[in-house]
Amino acid sequence: MQPAELQRLVQIIVEEVAAATAIPARCSCHALLFECCPDRLSGILGAGATRLGMHASGGPAGTVASMIDHTLLKPDASQTEIETICREAAEFHFATVCVNPTWVALCAERLRGTGVLVTSVVGFPLGATTPDVKQYETRRAIFDGAREIDMVINVGALKSGDLRLVERDIDAVASACRDGGAISKVIIEAAYLTDDEKVTACTLSKAAGADFVKTSTGFGPGGATVADVALMRRTVGDGMGVKAAGGVRDLAGLQAMVAAGATRVGASAGVRIVQESRGQQPTAASKGY
């Protein structure tokens, strides 16, 4: 990260992230919350190998399934298809189903008592709505039954260097998730960003108190890559989740993402992946939407 970017991050974090009440320990170099210190984050980047010790191979099939958000976000998805992924999620014990907001209440109803949660998307897929609108979307999705929220950052603001707006954008959703007892995931849409911008987006997400950073919407010019997942993991350290999404279609792809540092994977081919982990031949209907 360039010195000028670090300085802008310092200003943002000082003004909008450092809490006014019960402030915890601060670093002596910048008087910031220790977890947000730019020098510390630079050290994490330099270390290069920090990741959570989770493996997608060698364990039971349930371990693989529990890392997957079983995803159906295509605009023409029918109710029948949504109900199908709910049945699959209950059968294979995925972490969540990930659906557009209009389907949240239905999925919450179908999955009640199964242990499978519902993820909804916010500001999807462009990220170009305003922070207050994203916050309302978040609250409504939680009201309807979502327990995890995947929000898209304002990519244009980040590319323009308006880091204050990006931080407000993320915080609007992360704070609503905290209020509603939901997990927040920040989609940085890495395919549009330089490596420095990816680091900045992840740093702002961590500073705003988000729970995960996520690679992609699946609707951009590219999906998850091993290099991006590794960079994101190095940036956020082991205190946040990293979700790889977009183009993970088989067990080998999931294993590569986990080896790079992912702790959650978004995939429409979740059934196929679990079947492969069990040594089964994937069925024709399990290859993803």
How far apart (Å, rounded) are the C-alpha atoms in residues 277 and 56? 9
241: left (phi over 0), alpha (psi -120 to 50) or beta: beta
Measure the CA angle with vertex 141, ends 137 and 145; round to 5°.
Answer: 170
Is residue 12 within 8 A of residue 167, CB to CB? The reply is yes
| Residue 78: CB atoms within 10 Å | 10
**Known active-site residue 214:** yes
**CA distance to 4, 224, 264, per residue, from 213 (Å):** 23, 12, 10
Hey, what are 175's tokens?
């704070």
How far apart (Å, rounded) are the C-alpha atoms in residues 234 and 229? 9
Q: Which of 107, 108, 114, 117 is nearest to 83 (CA)?
A: 107
- Of 134, 185, 198, 243, the catalytic one is 243
**Known active-site residue 185:** no
Hey, what are 51's tokens?
């990741």
- Of 144, 169, 214, 228, the catalytic one is 214
**Known active-site residue 134:** no
- Of 144, 150, 169, 228, the catalytic one is 150
Residues serving a catalytic function are: 150, 214, 243
